[in-house]
Amino acid sequence: MAKGANFQMVSYKENFLDLHKKSICMHLHFTQLGIRRLVFFSVLLLLIFCRTAQAQVMYTGGSNLQLLYGRHLNQSGDMATITFEHFGMRGAFEHFGFADLSNNVSLQSPALYAEWYPKVSLSRATGSEVRLGPVNDVLLGGGVNVLFGGTEDFFVYLLGPAFKFALPGQGLLQLETYYYKQHGSEYNGTFQITPSWDVKLPASEIIHLRFRGFMDFIGDRGPGAAQYLTQPQLFLDLGNLKGKPGRVYAGTEWRYWHNVVGLRDVNESILQVNLLFQL
């Protein structure tokens, strides 16, 4: 799954529906984490969350911190989320990662969900443009998805190409296509297709809007059903109102998840207010 996925991957079979009614109340049992999770978390800390001077020299890119608060539209309960995102680039290598700390409004038992996607640009690696129609670059890479907290092990491996499309200005339009495999012998390999976008919309000299988001389409893993998740966001650039654009944004996010974690006919719809700080 790509950004934005504020996941509460708890017991997918017997416990999910009951826990979901309680806003997916999960405990962080770090002592029970496997080696894969610990290694992944260490790499994530080093490559994504590190904001030291050395990291800023090594990478060009950006980070942001988001504060979200929303209400379930198709069931009772609120949700609060803190999201950290980072994109970095050095030479032919680039990577994107995020972490969501989310739970009900009490935040008494939060769950931490994280994803990381390293890629290599073929254009930058070969020194010549790799173009195909509207596609202005092809990247090869993969990803890992991991949940810290919850009663079941959740770890996903992804591998495949990504395609970047030419847009006017500084907009981003990307399509990622992956082989998707959740850890566990009961899960089959399947596919994940993820379009994502980030486009600035200057309505006037003062009013600057920003439209960003993604959609995840994930095939049937064996148990369960195919699922899709989307999280479009629309922001107003608050900083531009005072002559300091690109620093603080306020807006909304709609999160819709069809067949949550592959559970047929279990859907989630959450409308959230979102405050984004560009770091």
Q: Output the pLDDT for position 160.
A: 99
Of 38-47, 144-153, 180-189, 212-221, the range with the lowest mean pLDDT is: 38-47
Q: Is 184 left (phi over 0), alpha (psi -120 to 50) or beta?
A: left
Who wins on pLDDT, 222 or 73? 222
CA–CA distance, 109 with 83 (Å, rounded to integer): 16
Q: Output the pLDDT for position 22.
A: 40
pTM: 0.79
Q: Output the pLDDT for position 171.
A: 87
Q: Output the pLDDT for position 69.
A: 95
Beta partners for residue 227, in sequence order: 218
| Tens digit of each residue's pLDDT (9 = 90 or more) over 46-96 | 444 433 333 333 334 699 999 999 988 877 678 899 999 999 999 999 999
Q: Output the pLDDT for position 36.
A: 53
Q: Output the pLDDT for position 28.
A: 37
Contact assessment for residue 47 and residue 88, using Cβ atoms and an 8 Å cutoff: yes
Split at pLDDT 50, 70, 90, the class of 153 is confident
CA–CA distance, 276 with 264 (Å, rounded to integer): 33
CA–CA distance, 263 with 225 (Å, rounded to integer): 6
Q: Output the pLDDT for position 148.
A: 86
CB atoms near residue 18 (< 10 Å): 10
Q: Output the pLDDT for position 74.
A: 75
| Tens digit of each residue's pLDDT (9 = 90 or more) over 119-128 | 999 999 999 9
* pLDDT, average across residues 169-193: 94
Of 16-25, 167-176, 188-197, 232-241, the range with the lowest mean pLDDT is: 16-25
Asked if pLDDT for residue 43 goes beyond 60, the answer is: no
* pLDDT, average across residues 137-146: 97
Q: Output the pLDDT for position 3.
A: 53
- Per-residue burial over 73-84, b if 16 or more Cβ lie within 10 Å, else e, is eeeeeebbbbbb
CA–CA distance, 105 with 97 (Å, rounded to integer): 25
Q: What is the CATH number of domain 16-278?
A: 2.40.230.20
Q: Output the pLDDT for position 50.
A: 39
| Tens digit of each residue's pLDDT (9 = 90 or more) over 4-42 | 443 333 333 344 344 344 433 333 343 344 555 554 554
Who wins on pLDDT, 5 or 221? 221
Split at pLDDT 50, 70, 90, the class of 273 is very high
Task: Quote the mean pLDDT of the chain.
Answer: 82
Q: Output the pLDDT for position 110.
A: 80
Could you tell me the two tokens for 92?
């032919």
In this prediction, what percent of the chain has a pLDDT beyond 90?
64
SS (H, E, C) the chain: CCCCCCCCCCCCCCCHHHHHHCCCCCCCCHHHCCHHHHHHHHHHHHHHHCCCHHHHHHCEEEEEEEEEEEEECCCCCEEEEEEEEEEEEECCEEEEEEEEEEECCCCCCCEEEEEEEEEEEHHHHHCCCCCECCEEEEEEEEEEEEEECCCCCCEEEEEEEEEEECCCCCCEEEEEEEEEEECCCCCCCEEEEEEEEEEEEECCCCCEEEEEEEEEEECCCCCCCCEEEECCEEEEECHHHHCCCCCEEEEEEEEEEECHHHCCCCCEEEEEEEEEEEC
Asked if pLDDT for residue 182 goes beyond 60, the answer is: yes
Phi, psi of 49 (to 5 degrees): -85, -15
Q: Output the pLDDT for position 27.
A: 37
Domains in the chain: boundaries: 16-278
| Tens digit of each residue's pLDDT (9 = 90 or more) over 94-116 | 999 999 998 865 555 688 999 99
